[in-house]
Structure 1
Amino acid sequence: MFPMPIEKWKASNRILYKLSLPVALLIWLLPILAVLVTSVRSTDELMEGNYWGWPKDFAMLANYREALTASPMLHYFWNSCLITIPSVIGAIALAAMAGYALSTYKFRGNTLLFATFVACNFVPQQILMIPVREISVSLGLFNTVSGLILFHVAMQTGFCTLFLRNFIKQLPYEMIEAARIEGAGEWTVFYRIVLPLIKPALAALAVLVFTFVWNDYFWALCLTQGDDVAPITVGVAALKGQWTTAWNLVSAGSVLAAIPSVLLFFLMQKQFVVGLTFGASKG
């Protein structure tokens, strides 16, 4: 029923596993390594066709400086912050309240409502492109920061509710009942008891949602036009030329765009791991 621990494997299987793991890791990291190496190549090397060899001339400072100055990269970065941070806060706040209600209250339609949250996570986002764009245009939210925030909050709340509802469901219900008997209101129970207990889950969810929203390119391209509210993912695409593309600049811009997500993960790595394993064991 459960996978056998590695320590109980046959010796030959353990050796094969240890040999194949670095190979699989190298294959998975190869595109990232290629982008990192290309971001420090000079334009002359790329014109000569040196795409995969070791760089002869390191032009890291020149490439990253030009990536920042050749396009309004800092403006794109600021737009991404304006879009991502409120989206993360809004989605987690709504999901925490919805997850608490779905896991604590027993009412008619509870299961159906929860199933709706679950089902929405399986809807391909591409089929929503035309109706979402038409709705944003009709409401005057097209090409606005508030429109992107509302969209991401709506899209991420379903996944966040599914995530948090399961965590809150694992909390001892006796604590909530005891707080109610002592006279605590529902908001007091939610803020003083439930939220402190699910902080690891909230931290893990914040990292995930931040990564989803920050790295979004599809919806940023569908719901924006021009450079006014375009996030950094669209800004990296602006580094491509009309006739030729300086891939070293595009790679440098891609690395700059990925830094916040990677940095956030390493800063909150402990909380992220604790949140994902929260409630996984009893004792």
Structure 2
Amino acid sequence: MFPTPIEKSPRSWQLTYQALLPIALIFWLAPLIAVAVFSIKPDVDFTQGNYWGVPSSFEGVANYGKVFLESDMPRYMLNSVFITVPTVIGAVALSCMAGFALGIYRFKGNLLIFFMFVAGNFVPFQILMVPVRDLTLDLGLYNTKTGLVLFHVAFQAGFCTLFMRNFIRQLPFPLIEAARVEGVAEWKIFWYVVLPLMKPAIAALSVLIFTFIWNDYFWAIVLTQGPDAQPVTAGITSFNSQFRAAYHLMSAGSIVAALPPVAMFFLMQKHFIAGLTLGAVK
């Protein structure tokens, strides 16, 4: 039923695996390597068609200097922070409370409400483009960071609640029963008993949602425009003009935009892996 671990495979297959793995890794990293190389090339290389050759000169310092000092990239980065951080806090907080209610309490309609959260994950987000945009216009939230935050919190609530509810269902229920016998209020049970046990799941979910929201491009261009509210993913396109595209600056901006989620993952790697694997082994 399950594939044989590579350690137990024949020696010939192990050698083949070890030989093919670096090649597959290079192909997988090829786009990122290309963007990194483009970011240190001068503008003249693109006008002369030197896309994949060795840079005629290394202009990494100049390109990244222009990105930070001669463009709105710092403002776009700050917008992404103001959009992503509140979204992560809001989505995780709501999902913790909803997951606690759906995972601990038994009431009529529990499964129906849970299925409604799950069903929202299967709705193609592209079909929501027009109604969501019209809603933000009616509420005066179009082209605002607040509107983007509220939409992301609402849209991520389904997946986050699914994640948290299933995690809470795996917690030892006798702990909650013991707290109730001692007369502890329900909100205190959630705050002092359940929430501390959810730290690995909160860390794992925070990393996932941070990555999802930071890398979002579709809703960034649908609900915002200009440097007042656009996040960095949409702001990178500002390096394009009507008759000319500054690919070297776009590449440098892309590398800069990719650093925060990468740093977030490595900082939270221990908790992230613990949250994903907790409960997998008895």
User: Which residue number in structure 2 is paired with residue 224 of structure 1?
Assistant: 224
Q: Deviations over 1:63-113 (max 9, x none)?
A: 011122332111111111111110000000000011111111111111121
Q: Deviations over 1:123-160 (max 9, x none)?
A: 11101101111111111111111111100000111111
Give the partner amino acid of 2:277: T
**Percent of aligned pairs with the same amino acid:** 56
CA distance in structure 2 between the aligned counterparts of 1:141 and 1:44, rounded to whole angstroms: 42
CA distance in structure 1 between the aligned counterparts of 2:247 and 2:225, rounded to whole angstroms: 24
| Secondary structure of the corresponding residue to residue 159 of structure 1 | helix
Q: Deviations over 1:166-211 (max 9, x none)?
A: 1111111010111111111111111111111110110111111011
Q: Is the 8 A contact 1:67 1:73 kept in 2?
A: yes
CA distance in structure 1 between the aligned counterparts of 2:163 and 2:276, rounded to whole angstroms: 10
Give the partner amino acid of 2:112: L
CA distance in structure 2 between the aligned counterparts of 1:268 and 1:211, rounded to whole angstroms: 12
CA shift at 1:271, angstroms?
1.0
Report which stretch shifted further, 11-20 or 168-177: 11-20
Q: Is the 8 A contact 1:92 1:202 kept in 2?
A: yes
Q: Is the 8 A contact 1:71 1:235 kept in 2?
A: no
CA distance in structure 2 between the aligned counterparts of 1:98 and 1:18, rounded to whole angstroms: 45
- In structure 1, stretches of 5+ residues that fail to align are none
Q: Is the 8 A contact 1:129 1:222 kept in 2?
A: yes
User: Which residue number in structure 2 is paired with residue 186 of structure 1?
Assistant: 186
User: Which residue number in structure 1 is paired with residue 195 of structure 2?
Assistant: 195
User: Which residue number in structure 2 is paired with residue 148 of structure 1?
Assistant: 148
User: Which residue number in structure 2 is paired with residue 28 of structure 1?
Assistant: 28
Across the aligned residues of Structure 1 and Structure 2, the Cα RMSD in angstroms comes to: 1.2
Q: TM-score, normalised by structure 2?
A: 0.97
User: Which residue number in structure 2 is paired with residue 262 of structure 1?
Assistant: 262
Aligned residue pairs total 282
CA distance in structure 1 between the aligned counterparts of 2:83 and 2:76, rounded to whole angstroms: 11
Q: Deviations over 1:248-274 (max 9, x none)?
A: 100001111111111111111111111
User: Which residue number in structure 1 is paired with residue 115 of structure 2?
Assistant: 115
CA shift at 1:6, angstroms?
1.9
Q: Is the 8 A contact 1:203 1:275 kept in 2?
A: yes
- In structure 2, stretches of 5+ residues that fail to align are none
Give the partner amino acid of 2:79: N
Give the partner amino acid of 1:123: V
Q: Is the 8 A contact 1:91 1:153 kept in 2?
A: yes
User: Which residue number in structure 2 is paired with residue 281 of structure 1?
Assistant: 281
Q: Deviations over 1:195-232 (max 9, x none)?
A: 11110110111111011111111101101122211111
Q: Is the 8 A contact 1:70 1:239 kept in 2?
A: no
